[in-house]
């Protein structure tokens, strides 16, 4: 990198990079460590099937975690994401069965997601509610509405659409022979890149960090704090909508009562191990991206080690606690 005078930036030295790696990019170290452990535990870890599986399994949580990264960077939290997926997915399947068009369904889910997210945002900004409370209300309401319309049972993709609609989840772009890059992997990576650009290189991204770091200072610099908060929740809603499409495609059904339960824990855990500060203002999309993959790798390792899947919640809880404790420890050292 060169500055205007053509001189090299003096500050990018090996020492600088090392310091950054330890302080700001420590998630890369944990990511590498985890890959080594996973490679040792699981002999098939480095096969393409396994790796693409991890991406496929991560894609839903991954999309939502991108939105959650924004919400947490803005100093807020959204615990309604699981219920949103169930609500949007349930109605989305109804739309699919009714119209027979996957495109219409995707459009519906996206708009519906934006709508639900915007309501969250409005409650928090215009209604002055703490985000924990507003999204908790949304969590309960969304789940209850979809339970009501599904009478507690599942929404199922109709038989004739089944085959084609499932392609989204199982299909991919052929690379050579039998090897193909799954669509979900492509979607996840592209969305992550877009979010990374937004957070690093656009006004919106800078404003999100500014609001999360210090709302008053942000307002006094002319940032429209309310708009930024509404936007981050709306974008999270949009991501929930897209995740709902993927959910419906992978399972070809959305069970009203149990679909996407616990997603809020998993996404928050992924964001936390990705190094995003729970207090807002600091965080990286690359961190969240790796965080999501790490989360899946951890549960894969545990499955390989015969740990009960019932313990998933305990594991996400433990991950959040450990990640945040480590952040706090680092911050304390700085002072």
Partner 1 sequence: MLVEMKGITKEFGPVRALDNVDFKIDTGEIVGLVGENGAGKTTLMNILTGTYTATNGDVFIDGKKVQISNIRVANQYGIRFIRQELNLCNDLRVFENMFLADEIKNKYGLLNKKEMIKQSEMVFKRMNVRIDPESIMRDLQAAEKQLVEIAKALLFKCELIIMDEPTTALSTHEIEDLFKIMRLLVEEGVSFIYISHKMPELFDICEKYYVLRDGKLVSQGEFEDIDENDITEMMIGRYLLDEKFSQHTNSSREEVAISVKNLSGRGFHNISFDVQKGEVIAITGLQGSGRDEIADALFGEEAFSGQLIVGGKQIKPGSNIRKFMKRGIGLVPRMRKERGIHNDLSIYDNINMAYLNTKFKNILISNKKVHSRYINHKEALDIRAGSPRNPITSLSGGNQQKVILGKWLETDADILLFDNPTQGIDVGTKFEIYHLIADLAVEGKAIIVFSPEFPEIYKVADRCIVLYKGTINAVLGREELTEKNIMYYSTGANLEVENA
Q: Among 241, 262, 240, 242, which residue's Cα sits nearest to residue 312? A: 262
In the complex, the smallest distance separating the C-beta of residue 242 from partner 1, rounded to whole angstroms, is: 22
3 state SS of 78? coil
Q: Which is nearer to partner 1, 128 or 177 (CB)?
A: 128
What does the per-residue mask of binding to partner 1 show for 173-202, with x meaning CB under 8 A? ------------------------x---xx
Interface positions, 282-301, toward partner 1 (CB under 8 A): 282
Tell whether residue 218 is a contact of partner 1 (CB under 8 A): yes
SS3 readout for 189-228:
HHHHHHHHHHHHHCHHHHHHHHHHHCHHHHHHCCCCHHHH
Tell whether residue 281 is a contact of partner 1 (CB under 8 A): yes
Contacting residue, 166, 180, 206, 250, with partner 1 by CB under 8 A: 206
In the complex, the smallest distance separating the C-beta of residue 286 from partner 1, rounded to whole angstroms, is: 16
Q: Are strands 179-182 and 172-176 parallel, antiparallel or unpaired?
A: antiparallel
CA neighbours within 13 Å on the CB side: how many for 224?
Answer: 8
Contact stretch for partner 1 (CB under 8 A) within 8-16, 54-62, 93-101, 111-119: 8-16
Tell whether residue 97 is a contact of partner 1 (CB under 8 A): no
In the complex, the smallest distance separating the C-beta of residue 211 from partner 1, rounded to whole angstroms, is: 9
Q: Which is nearer to partner 1, 122 or 304 (CB)?
A: 122
Tell me the site size for partner 1, rule CB under 8 A: 30
Cα(156)–Cα(174) distance, integer angstroms: 29
Contacting residue, 106, 161, 210, 240, with partner 1 by CB under 8 A: 210
Cα(90)–Cα(257) distance, integer angstroms: 11
* Angle (deg, nearest 10), helices 285-304 and 183-201: 140
Give the burial class of 41: count Cβ atoms within 10 A of its Cβ; 0-12 exposed, 13-18 middle, 19 or more buried: middle
Cα(35)–Cα(302) distance, integer angstroms: 14
Cα(221)–Cα(64) distance, integer angstroms: 30
User: Which residues make Cβ contacts (< 8 Å) with residue 131, sequence separation at least 6?
Assistant: 71, 76, 77, 78, 120, 124
DSSP 242-277: HHHHHHHHHHSEEETTTTTTTHHHHHHHHHHHTT--
Tell whether residue 14 is a contact of partner 1 (CB under 8 A): no
Q: Among 115, 60, 85, 61, which residue's Cα sits nearest to residue 258? A: 85
Tell whether residue 1 is a contact of partner 1 (CB under 8 A): yes
Tell whether residue 280 is a contact of partner 1 (CB under 8 A): yes
Tell whether residue 308 is a contact of partner 1 (CB under 8 A): no
Q: Which is nearer to partner 1, 82 or 280 (CB)?
A: 280
Contacting residue, 151, 178, 216, 308, with partner 1 by CB under 8 A: 216
What does the per-residue mask of binding to partner 1 show for 236-275, with x meaning CB under 8 A? ----------------------------------------
Q: Which is nearer to partner 1, 159 or 334 (CB)?
A: 334
Tell whether residue 26 is a contact of partner 1 (CB under 8 A): no
Tell whether residue 213 is a contact of partner 1 (CB under 8 A): yes
In the complex, the residues that contact partner 1 under the rule CB under 8 A are: 1, 3-4, 9, 11, 16, 197, 201-203, 206-207, 209-210, 212-214, 216-224, 277, 280-282
């Amino acid at each position: 990198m060169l500055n205007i005078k053509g001189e090299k930036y003096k500050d990018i030295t090996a020492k600088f990079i090392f310091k950054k790696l330890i302080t700001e990019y420590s998630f890369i170290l944990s990511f590498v460590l985890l890959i080594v452990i996973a490679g040792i535990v699981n002999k098939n870890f480095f096969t393409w099937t396994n790796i693409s599986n991890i991406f496929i399994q991560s894609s839903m949580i991954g999309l939502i975690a991108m939105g959650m990264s924004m919400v947490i960077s803005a100093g807020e939290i959204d615990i309604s994401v699981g219920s949103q997926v169930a609500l949007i997915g349930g109605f989305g399947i109804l739309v699919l069965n009714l119209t027979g068009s996957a495109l219409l369904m995707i459009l519906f889910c996206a708009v519906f997601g934006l709508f639900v997210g915007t309501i969250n945002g409005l409650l928090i900004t215009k209604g002055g509610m703490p985000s924990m409370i507003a999204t908790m209300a949304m969590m309960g309401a969304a789940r209850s509405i979809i339970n009501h319309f599904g009478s507690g049972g599942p929404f199922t993709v109709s038989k004739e659409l089944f085959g084609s609609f499932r392609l989204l989840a199982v299909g991919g772009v052929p690379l050579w022979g039998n090897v193909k890059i799954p669509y979900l992997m492509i979607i996840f990576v592209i969305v992550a890149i877009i979010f990374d650009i937004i957070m690093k290189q656009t006004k919106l991204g800078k404003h999100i960090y500014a609001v999360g770091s210090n709302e008053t200072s942000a307002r006094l610099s002319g940032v429209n704090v309310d708009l930024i908060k509404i936007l981050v929740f709306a974008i999270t809603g949009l991501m929930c909508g897209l995740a709902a499409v993927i959910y419906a495609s992978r399972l070809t059904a959305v069970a009203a009562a149990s679909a996407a339960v616990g997603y809020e824990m998993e996404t928050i855990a992924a964001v936390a191990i990705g190094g995003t500060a729970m207090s807002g203002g600091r965080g990286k999309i690359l961190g969240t991206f790796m965080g999501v993959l790490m989360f899946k790798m951890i549960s894969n390792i545990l499955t390989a080690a015969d740990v009960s899947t019932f313990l998933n919640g305990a594991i996400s809880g433990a991950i959040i606690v450990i990640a945040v404790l480590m952040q706090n420890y680092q911050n304390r050292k700085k002072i």
